[in-house]
Amino acid sequence: MLSDKTIAIVKSTVPVLEKHGTDITKRFYQLLFADHPELLNIFNHANQSQGRQQTALANAVYAAAQHIDKLETILPVVKQIAHKHRSLGIKPEHYPIVGKNLLAAIKDVLGDAAGEDILQAWAEAYGAIANAFIGVEADMYRQAEEQAGGWEGFRPFVVKSKVRESDVITSFYLVPQNGQALASFQPGQYISVKMDIPGEKHTHIRQYSLSDAPGKPYYRISVKREDAIHGRPAGKVSVYLHEHVGEGDVLWLSAPAGDFTLDQEDTRPVVFISGGVGLTPLVSMLNTLAVTNSTRKATFLHAARNGNVHALKQEVEELASRSPHVSVFWSYEKPAQRDKELNAFDKEGYIDLPWLQKVVPTKEASFYFCGPVPFMQALNGLLKEWGVAAADIHYEFFGPTGNLEDAANANPEVAAGQR
Protein backbone atom coordinates (compact mmCIF):
# COMPACT_ATOMS: atom_id res chain seq x y z
CA MET A 1 0.00 0.00 0.00
CA LEU A 2 1.39 3.34 -1.04
CA SER A 3 1.82 6.06 1.56
CA ASP A 4 0.00 9.37 1.32
CA LYS A 5 3.35 11.06 0.74
CA THR A 6 4.20 8.80 -2.20
CA ILE A 7 0.77 9.32 -3.72
CA ALA A 8 1.06 13.09 -3.38
CA ILE A 9 4.51 13.18 -5.01
CA VAL A 10 3.43 10.97 -7.94
CA LYS A 11 0.32 13.08 -8.51
CA SER A 12 2.46 16.22 -8.48
CA THR A 13 4.33 14.86 -11.52
CA VAL A 14 1.17 14.64 -13.68
CA PRO A 15 1.71 18.04 -15.40
CA VAL A 16 5.33 17.10 -16.11
CA LEU A 17 4.30 13.76 -17.60
CA GLU A 18 1.71 15.46 -19.76
CA LYS A 19 4.43 17.68 -21.22
CA HIS A 20 7.41 15.30 -21.31
CA GLY A 21 5.79 11.84 -21.29
CA THR A 22 6.69 10.88 -24.86
CA ASP A 23 10.27 12.12 -24.45
CA ILE A 24 10.57 9.91 -21.37
CA THR A 25 9.19 6.83 -23.11
CA LYS A 26 11.38 7.36 -26.17
CA ARG A 27 14.42 7.48 -23.90
CA PHE A 28 13.08 4.48 -21.98
CA TYR A 29 13.02 2.26 -25.06
CA GLN A 30 16.52 3.40 -26.07
CA LEU A 31 17.85 2.40 -22.66
CA LEU A 32 15.80 -0.80 -22.51
CA PHE A 33 16.99 -2.21 -25.83
CA ALA A 34 20.58 -1.14 -25.24
CA ASP A 35 20.52 -2.95 -21.89
CA HIS A 36 18.46 -5.95 -23.01
CA PRO A 37 18.57 -6.37 -26.81
CA GLU A 38 16.92 -9.79 -26.46
CA LEU A 39 13.64 -7.95 -25.81
CA LEU A 40 13.67 -6.90 -29.46
CA ASN A 41 12.40 -10.45 -30.04
CA ILE A 42 9.14 -9.45 -28.32
CA PHE A 43 8.43 -5.82 -29.23
CA ASN A 44 6.94 -4.77 -32.56
CA HIS A 45 9.71 -2.90 -34.39
CA ALA A 46 7.27 -1.14 -36.74
CA ASN A 47 5.35 0.36 -33.83
CA GLN A 48 8.66 1.49 -32.37
CA SER A 49 9.83 3.17 -35.56
CA GLN A 50 6.46 4.94 -36.04
CA GLY A 51 6.39 6.16 -32.43
CA ARG A 52 3.09 4.41 -31.66
CA GLN A 53 4.49 2.29 -28.82
CA GLN A 54 6.17 5.26 -27.17
CA THR A 55 2.96 7.28 -27.29
CA ALA A 56 0.87 4.40 -25.93
CA LEU A 57 3.27 3.89 -23.02
CA ALA A 58 3.34 7.62 -22.27
CA ASN A 59 -0.46 7.64 -22.11
CA ALA A 60 -0.45 4.61 -19.81
CA VAL A 61 2.11 6.16 -17.44
CA TYR A 62 0.16 9.42 -17.41
CA ALA A 63 -3.08 7.59 -16.57
CA ALA A 64 -1.36 5.62 -13.81
CA ALA A 65 -0.03 8.84 -12.25
CA GLN A 66 -3.46 10.47 -12.39
CA HIS A 67 -5.12 7.51 -10.67
CA ILE A 68 -2.31 6.26 -8.45
CA ASP A 69 -4.55 6.58 -5.39
CA LYS A 70 -7.30 4.52 -7.08
CA LEU A 71 -5.60 2.09 -9.43
CA GLU A 72 -8.81 0.07 -9.65
CA THR A 73 -10.24 2.82 -11.86
CA ILE A 74 -7.76 1.94 -14.62
CA LEU A 75 -8.29 -1.82 -14.25
CA PRO A 76 -10.02 -2.05 -17.68
CA VAL A 77 -6.89 -0.55 -19.30
CA VAL A 78 -4.67 -2.87 -17.25
CA LYS A 79 -6.66 -5.88 -18.48
CA GLN A 80 -6.52 -4.70 -22.08
CA ILE A 81 -2.74 -4.33 -21.95
CA ALA A 82 -2.39 -7.56 -19.96
CA HIS A 83 -4.13 -9.49 -22.74
CA LYS A 84 -1.45 -8.25 -25.15
CA HIS A 85 1.32 -9.04 -22.67
CA ARG A 86 0.06 -12.60 -22.19
CA SER A 87 -0.26 -13.05 -25.94
CA LEU A 88 3.33 -11.85 -26.45
CA GLY A 89 4.84 -13.81 -23.56
CA ILE A 90 5.64 -10.97 -21.13
CA LYS A 91 6.59 -12.57 -17.78
CA PRO A 92 7.05 -11.32 -14.17
CA GLU A 93 10.83 -11.25 -14.59
CA HIS A 94 10.50 -8.56 -17.25
CA TYR A 95 8.95 -6.01 -14.89
CA PRO A 96 12.06 -5.18 -12.81
CA ILE A 97 13.95 -4.60 -16.06
CA VAL A 98 11.25 -2.20 -17.26
CA GLY A 99 11.16 -0.41 -13.90
CA LYS A 100 14.91 0.15 -13.79
CA ASN A 101 15.00 1.67 -17.27
CA LEU A 102 11.85 3.73 -16.78
CA LEU A 103 13.33 5.43 -13.72
CA ALA A 104 16.58 6.00 -15.57
CA ALA A 105 14.65 7.59 -18.44
CA ILE A 106 12.76 9.89 -16.06
CA LYS A 107 16.08 10.99 -14.58
CA ASP A 108 17.71 11.51 -17.99
CA VAL A 109 14.84 13.59 -19.40
CA LEU A 110 13.94 15.63 -16.33
CA GLY A 111 17.47 16.07 -15.00
CA ASP A 112 17.69 17.92 -11.70
CA ALA A 113 13.90 18.29 -11.63
CA ALA A 114 13.70 14.58 -10.83
CA GLY A 115 15.04 14.62 -7.30
CA GLU A 116 15.54 11.60 -5.10
CA ASP A 117 12.11 12.03 -3.53
CA ILE A 118 10.44 11.88 -6.96
CA LEU A 119 12.49 8.88 -8.12
CA GLN A 120 11.80 7.02 -4.87
CA ALA A 121 8.07 7.75 -5.09
CA TRP A 122 7.95 6.55 -8.66
CA ALA A 123 9.91 3.41 -7.76
CA GLU A 124 7.28 2.59 -5.15
CA ALA A 125 4.42 3.48 -7.49
CA TYR A 126 5.88 1.39 -10.31
CA GLY A 127 6.11 -1.57 -7.93
CA ALA A 128 2.40 -1.28 -7.16
CA ILE A 129 1.51 -0.95 -10.85
CA ALA A 130 3.73 -3.89 -11.81
CA ASN A 131 2.15 -6.08 -9.14
CA ALA A 132 -1.28 -5.25 -10.55
CA PHE A 133 -0.19 -6.34 -14.02
CA ILE A 134 1.57 -9.47 -12.78
CA GLY A 135 -1.51 -10.57 -10.83
CA VAL A 136 -3.90 -10.05 -13.74
CA GLU A 137 -1.53 -11.72 -16.21
CA ALA A 138 -0.98 -14.73 -13.93
CA ASP A 139 -4.71 -15.45 -14.11
CA MET A 140 -4.66 -15.05 -17.89
CA TYR A 141 -1.71 -17.42 -18.32
CA ARG A 142 -3.44 -20.00 -16.14
CA GLN A 143 -6.72 -19.72 -18.04
CA ALA A 144 -4.98 -19.95 -21.42
CA GLU A 145 -3.16 -23.13 -20.40
CA GLU A 146 -5.89 -24.87 -18.41
CA GLN A 147 -8.87 -24.32 -20.73
CA ALA A 148 -9.94 -27.21 -22.94
CA GLY A 149 -7.51 -27.33 -25.86
CA GLY A 150 -5.36 -24.62 -24.25
CA TRP A 151 -1.59 -24.39 -24.16
CA GLU A 152 1.35 -22.48 -22.72
CA GLY A 153 3.53 -20.19 -24.80
CA PHE A 154 3.56 -20.74 -28.56
CA ARG A 155 2.19 -23.86 -30.27
CA PRO A 156 2.87 -25.08 -33.84
CA PHE A 157 -0.02 -24.83 -36.33
CA VAL A 158 -0.09 -26.03 -39.93
CA VAL A 159 -1.45 -23.86 -42.73
CA LYS A 160 -4.30 -26.06 -43.98
CA SER A 161 -5.28 -23.64 -46.72
CA LYS A 162 -4.40 -20.17 -47.98
CA VAL A 163 -7.14 -18.13 -49.65
CA ARG A 164 -6.77 -14.81 -51.48
CA GLU A 165 -9.66 -12.63 -50.30
CA SER A 166 -8.83 -9.41 -52.18
CA ASP A 167 -5.93 -7.64 -53.86
CA VAL A 168 -4.38 -6.99 -50.45
CA ILE A 169 -5.86 -9.49 -47.96
CA THR A 170 -5.24 -13.23 -47.72
CA SER A 171 -6.76 -15.71 -45.25
CA PHE A 172 -4.79 -18.51 -43.57
CA TYR A 173 -6.67 -21.50 -42.16
CA LEU A 174 -4.61 -22.96 -39.31
CA VAL A 175 -4.89 -26.34 -37.56
CA PRO A 176 -2.82 -27.75 -34.64
CA GLN A 177 0.20 -29.67 -35.91
CA ASN A 178 -0.34 -32.43 -33.33
CA GLY A 179 -3.97 -32.89 -34.35
CA GLN A 180 -5.16 -32.38 -30.78
CA ALA A 181 -7.96 -30.17 -29.46
CA LEU A 182 -8.25 -26.51 -30.36
CA ALA A 183 -9.03 -23.93 -27.67
CA SER A 184 -12.19 -21.93 -28.18
CA PHE A 185 -12.21 -18.14 -28.13
CA GLN A 186 -14.53 -15.17 -27.83
CA PRO A 187 -15.56 -13.59 -31.16
CA GLY A 188 -13.34 -10.53 -31.62
CA GLN A 189 -10.20 -11.99 -30.02
CA TYR A 190 -6.78 -12.34 -31.66
CA ILE A 191 -3.77 -14.63 -31.66
CA SER A 192 -0.05 -13.80 -31.86
CA VAL A 193 2.07 -15.27 -34.65
CA LYS A 194 5.78 -15.66 -33.88
CA MET A 195 8.07 -15.84 -36.89
CA ASP A 196 11.76 -16.25 -37.61
CA ILE A 197 12.24 -14.64 -41.01
CA PRO A 198 15.37 -15.56 -42.98
CA GLY A 199 17.88 -12.71 -42.91
CA GLU A 200 16.25 -11.03 -39.89
CA LYS A 201 18.29 -10.78 -36.69
CA HIS A 202 15.31 -10.87 -34.35
CA THR A 203 12.13 -12.87 -34.01
CA HIS A 204 8.98 -10.98 -35.01
CA ILE A 205 5.62 -11.30 -33.26
CA ARG A 206 2.41 -9.93 -34.75
CA GLN A 207 -1.16 -10.09 -33.49
CA TYR A 208 -3.99 -10.93 -35.90
CA SER A 209 -7.71 -11.06 -35.21
CA LEU A 210 -9.45 -14.38 -35.67
CA SER A 211 -11.82 -13.77 -38.55
CA ASP A 212 -14.20 -16.72 -38.28
CA ALA A 213 -16.54 -17.93 -35.57
CA PRO A 214 -15.32 -20.11 -32.69
CA GLY A 215 -16.20 -23.79 -32.70
CA LYS A 216 -14.64 -24.51 -36.11
CA PRO A 217 -11.85 -27.13 -36.48
CA TYR A 218 -9.42 -24.36 -37.45
CA TYR A 219 -8.38 -20.79 -36.67
CA ARG A 220 -8.62 -18.30 -39.51
CA ILE A 221 -6.62 -15.09 -39.76
CA SER A 222 -7.08 -12.68 -42.66
CA VAL A 223 -3.92 -10.66 -43.15
CA LYS A 224 -3.47 -7.44 -45.09
CA ARG A 225 -0.22 -7.15 -46.99
CA GLU A 226 1.40 -3.96 -45.73
CA ASP A 227 3.54 -2.66 -48.60
CA ALA A 228 5.82 0.37 -48.28
CA ILE A 229 3.87 3.60 -48.77
CA HIS A 230 4.44 7.32 -48.13
CA GLY A 231 7.79 6.67 -46.45
CA ARG A 232 6.40 3.90 -44.23
CA PRO A 233 8.39 0.66 -44.55
CA ALA A 234 6.72 -2.54 -45.68
CA GLY A 235 5.35 -4.87 -43.03
CA LYS A 236 7.96 -7.61 -42.68
CA VAL A 237 5.62 -10.25 -41.30
CA SER A 238 2.60 -9.53 -43.50
CA VAL A 239 4.70 -9.47 -46.67
CA TYR A 240 6.47 -12.69 -45.66
CA LEU A 241 3.15 -14.40 -44.95
CA HIS A 242 1.79 -13.37 -48.35
CA GLU A 243 4.90 -14.21 -50.36
CA HIS A 244 6.53 -17.15 -48.61
CA VAL A 245 4.09 -19.00 -46.34
CA GLY A 246 1.94 -21.60 -48.05
CA GLU A 247 -0.17 -24.64 -47.39
CA GLY A 248 1.67 -27.20 -45.26
CA ASP A 249 3.96 -24.64 -43.63
CA VAL A 250 4.06 -24.24 -39.84
CA LEU A 251 3.28 -21.09 -37.86
CA TRP A 252 3.73 -20.69 -34.10
CA LEU A 253 0.69 -19.25 -32.32
CA SER A 254 -0.13 -18.12 -28.80
CA ALA A 255 -3.56 -18.88 -27.35
CA PRO A 256 -6.39 -16.44 -28.19
CA ALA A 257 -6.48 -13.18 -26.21
CA GLY A 258 -8.19 -9.79 -26.18
CA ASP A 259 -11.07 -7.97 -24.54
CA PHE A 260 -12.78 -6.57 -27.66
CA THR A 261 -15.45 -9.26 -27.69
CA LEU A 262 -19.11 -9.55 -28.60
CA ASP A 263 -21.47 -9.40 -25.62
CA GLN A 264 -23.62 -12.41 -26.44
CA GLU A 265 -25.91 -11.78 -23.48
CA ASP A 266 -27.08 -8.51 -25.06
CA THR A 267 -30.17 -9.11 -27.20
CA ARG A 268 -30.58 -5.56 -28.51
CA PRO A 269 -29.76 -4.69 -32.14
CA VAL A 270 -26.06 -4.70 -32.92
CA VAL A 271 -24.18 -2.62 -35.50
CA PHE A 272 -20.77 -3.60 -36.89
CA ILE A 273 -18.81 -0.90 -38.74
CA SER A 274 -15.39 -1.57 -40.25
CA GLY A 275 -12.78 0.09 -42.40
CA GLY A 276 -10.24 -1.87 -44.45
CA VAL A 277 -8.85 -4.93 -42.72
CA GLY A 278 -10.62 -3.81 -39.54
CA LEU A 279 -13.51 -6.01 -40.62
CA THR A 280 -11.75 -9.19 -39.39
CA PRO A 281 -12.91 -9.24 -35.73
CA LEU A 282 -16.36 -8.02 -36.78
CA VAL A 283 -16.80 -10.82 -39.31
CA SER A 284 -15.98 -13.22 -36.49
CA MET A 285 -18.75 -11.62 -34.41
CA LEU A 286 -21.25 -11.71 -37.28
CA ASN A 287 -20.42 -15.35 -38.09
CA THR A 288 -20.92 -16.21 -34.43
CA LEU A 289 -24.45 -14.82 -34.53
CA ALA A 290 -25.07 -17.00 -37.57
CA VAL A 291 -23.72 -20.29 -36.18
CA THR A 292 -25.63 -19.79 -32.91
CA ASN A 293 -28.85 -19.12 -34.87
CA SER A 294 -29.25 -15.82 -33.09
CA THR A 295 -32.35 -13.77 -33.87
CA ARG A 296 -30.58 -10.58 -32.85
CA LYS A 297 -30.92 -7.81 -35.44
CA ALA A 298 -27.51 -7.06 -36.95
CA THR A 299 -26.37 -4.35 -39.36
CA PHE A 300 -22.95 -4.71 -40.99
CA LEU A 301 -21.32 -1.67 -42.62
CA HIS A 302 -17.93 -1.76 -44.31
CA ALA A 303 -15.85 1.07 -45.79
CA ALA A 304 -13.16 0.34 -48.36
CA ARG A 305 -11.38 2.14 -51.17
CA ASN A 306 -13.19 -0.04 -53.72
CA GLY A 307 -14.26 -3.61 -54.38
CA ASN A 308 -10.76 -4.73 -55.36
CA VAL A 309 -9.58 -4.40 -51.76
CA HIS A 310 -12.85 -5.46 -50.10
CA ALA A 311 -12.19 -8.83 -48.43
CA LEU A 312 -14.76 -11.39 -47.25
CA LYS A 313 -17.52 -9.53 -49.09
CA GLN A 314 -19.12 -12.62 -50.63
CA GLU A 315 -19.02 -14.47 -47.31
CA VAL A 316 -20.87 -11.67 -45.52
CA GLU A 317 -23.39 -11.21 -48.34
CA GLU A 318 -24.17 -14.93 -48.40
CA LEU A 319 -24.69 -14.92 -44.65
CA ALA A 320 -27.08 -11.96 -44.98
CA SER A 321 -28.99 -13.69 -47.79
CA ARG A 322 -29.68 -16.65 -45.46
CA SER A 323 -30.76 -14.57 -42.47
CA PRO A 324 -33.68 -12.15 -42.23
CA HIS A 325 -31.98 -10.61 -39.20
CA VAL A 326 -28.84 -9.35 -40.98
CA SER A 327 -28.47 -6.28 -43.22
CA VAL A 328 -25.24 -5.30 -45.00
CA PHE A 329 -24.11 -2.05 -46.63
CA TRP A 330 -20.88 -1.05 -48.41
CA SER A 331 -19.30 2.40 -48.64
CA TYR A 332 -16.58 2.78 -51.30
CA GLU A 333 -14.34 5.83 -51.25
CA LYS A 334 -13.36 5.58 -54.94
CA PRO A 335 -15.37 2.79 -56.60
CA ALA A 336 -13.72 0.95 -59.47
CA GLN A 337 -15.50 0.90 -62.84
CA ARG A 338 -16.50 -2.72 -62.23
CA ASP A 339 -18.09 -1.74 -58.89
CA LYS A 340 -20.24 0.84 -60.70
CA GLU A 341 -21.24 -1.55 -63.47
CA LEU A 342 -22.35 -4.18 -60.95
CA ASN A 343 -23.95 -1.71 -58.51
CA ALA A 344 -21.71 -3.38 -55.96
CA PHE A 345 -21.82 -0.67 -53.30
CA ASP A 346 -24.38 1.43 -51.44
CA LYS A 347 -22.55 4.73 -50.95
CA GLU A 348 -19.78 6.49 -52.82
CA GLY A 349 -17.47 8.52 -50.62
CA TYR A 350 -17.13 8.47 -46.88
CA ILE A 351 -19.46 7.34 -44.14
CA ASP A 352 -21.35 10.36 -42.84
CA LEU A 353 -24.08 10.84 -40.26
CA PRO A 354 -27.05 11.21 -42.65
CA TRP A 355 -26.18 7.90 -44.36
CA LEU A 356 -25.50 6.22 -41.02
CA GLN A 357 -28.92 7.28 -39.75
CA LYS A 358 -30.50 6.08 -42.98
CA VAL A 359 -29.16 2.52 -42.95
CA VAL A 360 -28.95 1.87 -39.20
CA PRO A 361 -32.47 1.27 -37.83
CA THR A 362 -31.86 2.73 -34.38
CA LYS A 363 -29.20 4.35 -32.26
CA GLU A 364 -30.47 2.26 -29.32
CA ALA A 365 -28.05 -0.51 -30.21
CA SER A 366 -24.58 -1.82 -29.43
CA PHE A 367 -21.99 -0.42 -31.86
CA TYR A 368 -18.72 -2.26 -32.56
CA PHE A 369 -16.17 -0.76 -34.92
CA CYS A 370 -12.60 -1.30 -36.04
CA GLY A 371 -10.30 0.10 -38.71
CA PRO A 372 -7.56 2.70 -39.24
CA VAL A 373 -7.24 5.13 -36.33
CA PRO A 374 -8.43 8.20 -38.34
CA PHE A 375 -11.44 6.16 -39.51
CA MET A 376 -12.29 5.25 -35.92
CA GLN A 377 -11.79 8.83 -34.73
CA ALA A 378 -14.21 10.12 -37.36
CA LEU A 379 -16.74 7.37 -36.66
CA ASN A 380 -16.54 7.88 -32.91
CA GLY A 381 -17.35 11.53 -33.49
CA LEU A 382 -20.36 10.66 -35.67
CA LEU A 383 -21.78 8.28 -33.08
CA LYS A 384 -21.39 10.85 -30.32
CA GLU A 385 -23.00 13.51 -32.50
CA TRP A 386 -25.93 11.14 -33.07
CA GLY A 387 -26.27 10.70 -29.32
CA VAL A 388 -25.25 7.05 -29.03
CA ALA A 389 -24.59 6.21 -25.38
CA ALA A 390 -20.90 5.91 -24.50
CA ALA A 391 -21.55 2.50 -22.93
CA ASP A 392 -22.78 1.24 -26.31
CA ILE A 393 -19.61 2.24 -28.21
CA HIS A 394 -16.97 -0.51 -28.48
CA TYR A 395 -13.82 -0.40 -30.60
CA GLU A 396 -10.50 -2.15 -31.16
CA PHE A 397 -7.05 -0.77 -31.99
CA PHE A 398 -4.77 -2.82 -34.21
CA GLY A 399 -1.49 -2.20 -32.37
CA PRO A 400 -0.83 0.03 -29.34
CA THR A 401 -3.89 1.67 -27.82
CA GLY A 402 -4.41 5.18 -29.15
CA ASN A 403 -6.81 8.08 -28.69
CA LEU A 404 -10.22 8.46 -30.35
CA GLU A 405 -11.07 11.75 -28.71
CA ASP A 406 -9.43 13.83 -31.44
CA ALA A 407 -12.36 13.20 -33.79
CA ALA A 408 -12.66 16.86 -34.73
CA ASN A 409 -9.24 16.70 -36.34
CA ALA A 410 -9.74 13.38 -38.12
CA ASN A 411 -9.09 13.68 -41.84
CA PRO A 412 -12.03 12.01 -43.65
CA GLU A 413 -9.89 11.27 -46.70
CA VAL A 414 -7.63 9.19 -44.49
CA ALA A 415 -10.42 8.04 -42.23
CA ALA A 416 -12.38 6.21 -44.90
CA GLY A 417 -9.36 4.59 -46.51
CA GLN A 418 -7.98 1.08 -46.45
CA ARG A 419 -5.92 0.21 -43.40
Query: From the annotation, which residues make up the binding site for heme b?
Result: 85
Residue 99 near residue 126, CB atoms below 8 Å: yes
Query: From the annotation, which residues make up the binding site for NADP(+)?
Result: 276-281
SS3 163: strand
Fold of 154-254: Elongation Factor Tu (Ef-tu); domain 3 (2.40.30)
Query: In whole angstroms, what separates CA 159 from the centre of its chain?
Result: 23
pLDDT along the chain (419 residues), means of 10: 92 91 92 93 73 78 88 86 94 94 94 93 93 94 96 97 98 97 97 96 95 97 92 89 98 97 96 97 97 96 97 97 96 96 96 97 97 94 97 84 50 33
Residue 396 near residue 370, CB atoms below 8 Å: yes
DSSP state string for 254-288 = EPPB-S----TT--S-EEEEEEGGGHHHHHHHHHH
In this predicted structure, what is the pLDDT of residue 46?
A: 67
Q: Strands, DSSP E only, in 225-339?
A: 250-254, 270-275, 298-304, 326-332
| Catalytic residue chosen out of the listed positions 137, 226, 333, 396 | 137
Sequence-distant (6+) residues with CB within 8 A of 325 are 289, 294, 295, 296, 297, 298
pTM (two decimals): 0.92
* Separation between Cα atoms, residue 356 and residue 368, nearest integer Å: 14
Query: From the annotation, which residues make up the binding site?
Result: 85, 190, 206-209, 276-281, 397-400
In this predicted structure, what is the pLDDT of residue 400?
A: 56
In this predicted structure, what is the pLDDT of residue 87?
A: 95
Same fold flag, 4-146 and 270-415: no
SS3 31: helix
In this predicted structure, what is the pLDDT of residue 58?
A: 81
Q: Where are the domains of the chain?
A: 4-146, 154-254, 270-415
Closest CA to 40 of 57, 32, 50: 32
| Catalytic residue chosen out of the listed positions 95, 126, 350, 395 | 95
- The answer regarding whether domain 270-415 maps to CATH 3.40.50.80 reads yes
- Residue 95 annotated to the active site: yes
CATH architecture of the domain 4-146 equals Orthogonal Bundle (1.10)
By CB atoms closer than 10 A (0-12, 13-18, 19+), residue 337 is: exposed
In this predicted structure, what is the pLDDT of residue 228?
A: 84
Terminal Cα-to-Cα distance of the chain (whole angstroms)? 44
